[in-house]
Amino acid sequence: MSEFFPMIKKVCYEGKQSKNPFSFKYYDAERIIDGKPMKEHLKFALSWWHTLCAEGGDPFGSGTIDRTYGGLKDPMKIAYAKVDAGFEFMSKLGIEYFCFHDADIAPAGENFSQTKKNFWEIVDYIRSKTEETNIKLLWGTANCFNAPRYMHGAGTSCNAHSFAYAAAQIKNALEATVKLGGKGYVFWGGREGYETLLNTDMALELDNMAKLMKMSVEYGRKIGFDGDFYIEPKPKEPTKHQYDFDSATVLGFLRKYGLDKDFKLNIEANHATLAGHTFEHELTVARINNAFGSIDANSGDPLLGWDTDQFPTNVYSATLCMLEVIRAGGFTNGGLNFDAKVRRGSFTFEDIVHAYISGMDTFALGLIKAYEIIEDGRIDEFVKKRYSSYNDGIGKEIRQGSASLESLEEYILGNDKVVMESGRQEYLEAVLNNIIFG
């Protein structure tokens, strides 16, 4: 079997003073933080599609990255090579999880039954690899957005035949998720939205999407899937309006259709940016609604308005993200999937190694700094104090639900001078800097 990443043996933690590019500076997998090794706090996962398949094409140019694994021509041989390369890479970096779309792991055949055969042949091969290693599936999904049959959507298509095809794909992807021991199954509505309301029956489309999700839950539970279903919010791209716009929109949808018991959210950093939110906003909305599930860790570019899926290197953002993860009680079935790809000009296998090391170190630092914020206590203490007027008196009555408009008017008639306090944003930002750089 060929070695695809000969530049590395095992990537180890060497500490921040190390200049070895093939070492972790902050990610020390076994270091115990708050009773758990770092690797369990972070649960890093490799994204099959970007890491093993992405060829660097963009709207203005074709691929720059050779993903033929040594010039292979037969798509099935390439699919096998991806498994070998993926497992070699994960073993060398100490990554214990991966995520896939059905379409990334095996090529489509001439008809559905051939596609299915190809898919299961590779799933079996992946399974043999998971048995030889400690690498597991984090989540699986079906790609119901690429093929022309999904031009009008999949679950929200105007064409029932497209809907049925998506259902058939999801059935197999779910079975594979179970077979590979995955505890998550993602719905990302890649074409679930509309371009113009002039040709769209929004009510029917949303009802149908919910039906597809219900069928998936029913089938998943029947075949022994006891993990979480996730929706991954994204506001635009590819359609002008995506139904899964952001966390709040998705929560409304899940509740309307009674799907909120089985579904949680898979929050992606750059999707939050595209929705006009911060990453931590989306995570907070998920957490306070008990819907925090998993994370697609990447970043966008503030100067570009599309989904650039870059590797995350922003320590501020990773810190605020990990603070939310800790507040949510940590990952259970979810983890940190690097839904990120190297830039078009970074076309060598070595670039993938640098990208993952940098992403993993960024989140390791984020985890360390998030715990420092908690231990420091200044920020939490400030927030607690900021709302202390709700601890007693009229505030307590409001909080407990015993106040009414009449009782509050009565109160105001006797106390109409409202004393205000500063929100101290600049002070809190200085505290954050002090902790991150201190």
Binding site for ligand XUL (CB under 6 A): 101, 141, 186, 188, 232, 234, 268, 296, 307, 339
Interface positions, 320-339, toward Co ion (CB under 5 A):
339
What are the backbone dihedrals phi and psi of residue 178, each rounded to the nearest 5 degrees, phi first? Answer: -65, -45
DSSP, residue by residue, 183-235: SEEEE--TT-EES-GGG--HHHHHHHHHHHHHHHHHHHHHTT--SEEEE---S
The listed partner (ligand XUL, Co ion, none) that binds 175, CB under 5 to 8 Å by sort, is none
Catalytic residue among 41, 101, 277, 281: 101
Q: Name 416's Cβ contacts closer than 8 Å, sequence gap at least 6.
A: none
d(CA 6, CA 349): 9
CB of 259 to Co ion, least distance (A): 20
Please tell me the distance from the alpha carbon of residue 288 to that of residue 93, in angstroms, as a whole number.
34
Residue nearest to ligand XUL (CB): 188
Q: Which residues are paired to 264 by β-bridges?
A: 230
Binding partner of residue 186 among Co ion, ligand XUL, none, CB under 5 to 8 Å per kind?
ligand XUL
**Which residue among 41, 50, 102, 104 is the active-site one?**
104
**128 vs 22: CA distance, rounded Å:** 28
Angstrom CA distances, 77 to 50, 102, 431, stand at: 19, 16, 54
User: What would the two tokens of residue 132 be?
Assistant: 């030889």
Q: Which is nearer to ligand XUL, 24 or 48 (CB)?
A: 48
Residue 124 is among the residues annotated as catalytic for this protein: no
Among 268, 307, 324, 361, binds Co ion (CB under 5 A): 268
Place of tokens 């509740």: 255
Question: Could you tell me the smallest distance in angstroms from the CB atom of residue 106 to ligand XUL?
Answer: 16
Given the rule CB under 5 A, which of 138-146, 289-297, 321-329, 362-370 is the region that contacts Co ion?
289-297
Q: Which residue's CB is nearer to ligand XUL, number 51 or number 141?
A: 141
Q: How far is the CB of 135 from ligand XUL (least distance, A)?
A: 19
Work out whether 192 is an interface residue with Co ion (CB under 5 A).
Answer: no
CB closer to Co ion, 88 vs 339: 339
Among Co ion, ligand XUL, none, the one that 307 touches (CB under a kind-dependent 5 to 8 A) is: ligand XUL
356 vs 340: CA distance, rounded Å: 9
Query: What's the token pair of residue 321?
Result: 């993200």
Contacts of 103 (CB under 8 A, 6+ apart): 142, 143, 146
Give, as ranges, the residues between 137 and 156 that touch Co ion (CB under 5 A): none
- Smaller CB distance to ligand XUL: residue 11 or 285? 285
> Does 296 participate in binding Co ion (rule CB under 5 A)?
yes
104 is catalytic: yes
Residue 246 contacts Co ion per CB under 5 A: no
Q: Does 309 participate in binding Co ion (rule CB under 5 A)? A: no
Asked if residue 233 has a cis previous peptide bond (ω within 30° of 0), the answer is no
Quickly count: other Cβ atoms within 10 Å of residue 315's Cβ.
19
Using CB under 5 A, list all residues that contact Co ion.
268, 296, 339
Which residues are known to be catalytic?
Answer: 101, 104
